[in-house]
Amino acid sequence: MLRVIGLVLLIFALARPRYENSKSNSFSEGIDIVLCIDLSTSMLAEDFQPKNRIEAAKMVAASFIDNRVSDRIGLVVFQAKAFTQCPITTDYNLLKSLLGQLRAGQIEEDGTAIGTAIATATNRLRDSKAKSRVIILLTDGQNNAGEVEPITAAHLASALGIKIYTVGAGSRGYANYPFDDPIFGRRYMKVKVDVDDESLTKIASITGGKYFRATDLGSLEETYKEIDQLEKTKVETEVFKEIRAFGAERVVEKLTASLGREKIVMKSVLFVLAFVLLGISMINPQIGTRLKEVKRKGIELVIALDISNSMLATDVSPSRLQRAKYELSDMVDALGGDLVGLVVFAGTAFQQSPMTSDHSALKLFLEIASPDLIQTQGTNFSAALETAMNTLEQGEGGKAKDEKSSHVIVIVSDGENNEEGVAESIKKVKEKGIKVFTVGIGSEQGAPIPLMNREGEIVDYKREESGAIVTTKFNENTLVEIARKADGEFYRVSTGGSNFDQIIEKFKTLDQTEYETKQLVDYDDKFQFFLLSAILLLIVEFLIGEKKVQSKAFAQYFDVEKGNEHFQAGQLDKAKEYYDKVESENEDIQDKKEAVFNNGNVFFQKKEFDKAKENFSKLASQNELSSEDRADAYYNLANTAYEKSNLAKEHSEKQKALKESLDYLKESMKLNSTDNDAKQNYEFIKRQLQQLNMEQQKNNQNKDKDKKEKQEDKKKEQEQSKDDQSDKNKDGKKDGENKKNEQQNQEEKNSQPQNQKEFSKQQAERLLDAIKQDEKNMLKKYQQRQAKTKN
């Protein structure tokens, strides 16, 4: 019976089940990056043959994006102003689509506001939870615009732990700059290349980055390749090593009892051959390859938001438009992996955001939607439907849509249709199989339409020619008709609440069709042939004959497994009882190594790191154990030391623990040179130790600086005291003025950081808040100009 159980357990072991018990640390790639690109007209210079600077920058940036895998990347553009072209996102198709739309001079006011650009990019990263945050700034000029100095902006980024790589783009000397002559057409003139190498170098140095000078297309490509390699940053994640309980060699050894000389040779040969085949199958030999498809499912949805002036009415709090934006933002959060686009409309319509699976990017464009984006007022449902259909046709990142996907348009409006042609548009929508859901917002009683100044304050209400205040009332007729004819449904948002939850539930009932399929190369497993052969040999070996086997190995085995089960359930004390039992019943370290190791895991989980260290040390010091066993023990000793460093309060204590962790990892790698986790962890902790030393050095420098400044202040105070004493008998009024000036100077001094170029995190946050509002205003003006151009 025991033999049957042993055979079953061995076969079960081949499935390689894993108990995720032993805590250890490994590290994976992943950072947040903002690409910051200069769009000043000087970027049209053609010294990056065969392209001009801006086209070269776009091409190289797109290649850089393609080389990243798990990072979030955003895009900030600048001239005399700066704004976010794309928030940080993992939707690389959307990002590259927006990157491809860039052109030099697209922002109305020309100039180069490097400081504003850095501050804007910093705002994009300030709330990031990533362990590493990076700005890559590309410019071809000097800072000549904006209210924020580049060095000040660099210190803002540094205060928040953001690194900046700066790239100066432009040949040395003079470059060909194109201009259009009304008589002779396109001509060129020589323009001096004016890259501020000194300032860009200082910006990078302040933040721990690096400055690159790219003088042609080749060197620009090499620059981004080098940054790509520099920023393969390791971000710490927690994983768990499997407990080595299945197929332990001492357990297997005790499953084979002596059976007599006449049969021992045959059974031994069969047994060895079976285990050779088992070993080969566990390696999982792979011969040939096959394509494996990874599919994404969902619906494709376009939101069409009415931003006509009537949406400013406040019969729904805080206003029809603001309430619609709140509800839509919540709806987008609940959509999961669906593709979403955004269209805004009034008298005309335009695409605010292309189709994207990155909902945070879409919500940024939703946030800035306002009536001043479109000059032509009114409510043109026909234009909204036509633009929404075009957005669906383009698909994600400008790619053609999947004709088999479920397509939906959601129109949010107060229903006051002022244009003709909506019936024809509804017919087109129905022919394309697109469902249209409509959401009405407002009340039948209506409300006046407020007129606001630039500060957003109500200064009056829209009036008729007679002077009477215009009241806008909700009209559901057109919205109900559109939904009915386009196989959708009509919903309502009013003072009493909304039906957006019902809309979301309705979306869940639609066909979740595939809108993206990727093919990955996968290797074809062939372990089954070796496994089957091994099992047949074990069955033959079993049938030859048997004697009773010793049961102690099985008892020990099951005690460890019971402990593992309790460990997995979080019952650490119960798990420890089983591990302690195995330890107490065995003297030989080989017989109890799993229990000792797992007891170390228990102490580790309970944060009793000294006791964990004691257990892992028992195994690490035993030369009779295998190199792999000892390597694992040293590996977890390193993790124990690393966790202790995180608890350390003093710099010296933290430094000592990190050094100890590195020493343990060295020993682990000596014993198992193929352990990539140990290598990666070693590099990570090494960088942490270097950073800790740099911080300590910086703190010491700051202390010395503070001490020196205090001494200088004391000296100035003594000199001032002498001056005050000598002026004591002078005119009282003049004396009063001097005291007042002295007080003002002291207040100004106290209000500034000790180093005017450096900022605390709180000071940086306050300044960045102001810059963030400026960016919103700038982005709104840009979108307004874009809408006007398209219309």
Q: Catalogue the E-assigned strands of 253-348.
A: 286-306, 339-345
> Could you identify the residue written with the tokens 């106290």?
750
Residue 296 has pLDDT above 50, yes or no: yes
Same domain, 263 and 200: no
- Distance CA(640)–CA(603), nearest Å, equals 10
Give the pair of three-digit tokens for residue 635: 């590996």
Q: Do 517 and 215 contact (CB within 8 A), yes or no? A: no
- The pLDDT value given to residue 763: 73
Q: Over the stretch 9-40, which tens digit does the pLDDT of each residue have?
A: 455 544 444 444 444 443 334 689 999 999 99
Domain contains 672: no
574, 711, 730 from 716: Cα distances, Å:
69, 9, 21
Domain contains 95: yes
- The pLDDT value given to residue 58: 94
Q: Of 420, 419, 410, nearest to 304 (Cα)?
A: 410
Question: Which residue did the predictor score with more confidence, 125 or 737?
Answer: 125
Q: Over the stretch 342-392, which tens digit does the pLDDT of each residue have?
A: 999 998 998 888 888 778 778 888 888 888 888 778 889 999 999 999 988
- The pLDDT value given to residue 234: 42
Task: State the chain's mean pLDDT as an integer.
Answer: 78
Question: Which residue did the predictor score with more confidence, 661 or 550?
Answer: 661
Same domain, 337 and 418: yes
CB under 8 Å to 40, separation ≥6 — which residues?
79, 104, 105, 110, 111, 112, 139, 140, 141
Same domain, 425 and 533: no
Same domain, 531 and 514: no
Residue 262 has pLDDT above 80, yes or no: no
Question: Which residue did the predictor score with more confidence, 787 or 470?
Answer: 470
294 bridge partner residues = 518
- The pLDDT value given to residue 63: 92
Give the pair of three-digit tokens for residue 182: 């009304």
What is the CA 119 to chain-centroid distance, rounded? 19
- The pLDDT value given to residue 173: 86
Same domain, 323 and 306: yes
Residue numbers of the domain that contains 269: 258-285+526-547
Give the pair of three-digit tokens for residue 90: 């993992």
Q: Of 568, 660, 650, nearest to 613 (Cα)?
A: 660
- The pLDDT value given to residue 521: 45
Same domain, 269 and 157: no
Arithmetic mean of pLDDT, 444-460: 83
Buried (b) or exposed (e) across 289-316, using 16+ Cβ within 10 A? eeeeeeeebbbbbbbbbbbbbbbbbbbb
Residue 1 has pLDDT above 50, yes or no: no
Domain contains 674: no
Q: Over the stretch 155-200, which tens digit does the pLDDT of each residue have?
A: 999 988 899 999 999 888 888 888 877 777 778 888 888 899 999 9
134 three-class SS: strand
Same domain, 332 and 382: yes
- The pLDDT value given to residue 728: 58
- Distance CA(638)–CA(681), nearest Å, equals 9
What is the CA 242 to chain-centroid distance, rounded? 29
Domain contains 780: no
450 bridge partner residues = 461
Of 62-71, 276-285, 545-554, 587-596, the one with minimum mean pLDDT is: 545-554
Work out how many domains the chain is built from and give that number. Answer: 3
| CA dihedral (515, 519, 525, 526) positive or negative | positive
Q: Do 248 and 553 contact (CB within 8 A), yes or no? A: no
Same domain, 160 and 276: no
- Distance CA(706)–CA(577), nearest Å, equals 56
Give the pair of three-digit tokens for residue 397: 């990142």
681-684: list long-range contacts, CB under 8 Å, 24+ apart: 681/25, 681/26, 681/27, 681/638, 681/642, 683/234, 684/27, 684/234, 684/236
* Measured torsion, CA atoms of residues 511, 516, 522, 527, in degrees rounded to the nearest 10: -10
Of 138-142, 291-295, 306-310, the one with minimum mean pLDDT is: 291-295
Q: Over the stretch 682-699, which tens digit does the pLDDT of each residue have?
A: 887 888 788 778 767 766
Assign 3-class secondary structure to 480-528.
Answer: HHHHHHCCCCEEEEECCEECHHHHHHHHHHCCCEEEEEEEEEEEEECHH
Arithmetic mean of pLDDT, 556-581: 83
Query: 264 in the Ramachandran plot: left (φ > 0), alpha (ψ -120 to 50) or beta?
Result: alpha
CB under 8 Å to 235, separation ≥6 — which residues?
27, 28, 29, 30, 31, 130, 131, 132
Q: Of 44, 36, 35, nearest to 170 (Cα)?
A: 44
Same domain, 177 and 198: yes
Give the CB-side neighbour count of residue 490, counting CA atoms within 13 A: 16
- The pLDDT value given to residue 565: 83
Give the pair of three-digit tokens for residue 263: 């049969």
- The pLDDT value given to residue 567: 81
Rg (CA), the chain: 35
Same domain, 219 and 131: yes
Same domain, 200 and 265: no
- Distance CA(266)–CA(378), nearest Å, equals 93
CATH number for the domain that contains residue 342: 3.40.50.410
Q: Over the stretch 716-766, which tens digit does the pLDDT of each residue have?
A: 667 666 666 665 555 555 555 555 555 554 444 444 444 445 667 677 777
- The confidence band for 240, taking pLDDT boundaries of 50, 70 and 90, is very low
In degrees and rounded to multiples of 5, residue 316 shows phi and psi of -120, 125
- Distance CA(186)–CA(570), nearest Å, equals 75
- The pLDDT value given to residue 107: 82
Residue 520 has pLDDT above 90, yes or no: no
Same domain, 189 and 48: yes
Domain contains 584: no
Of 35-39, 225-229, 513-517, 615-619, the one with minimum mean pLDDT is: 513-517
- Among 187, 217, 232, the domain-final residue is 232
Domain contains 638: no
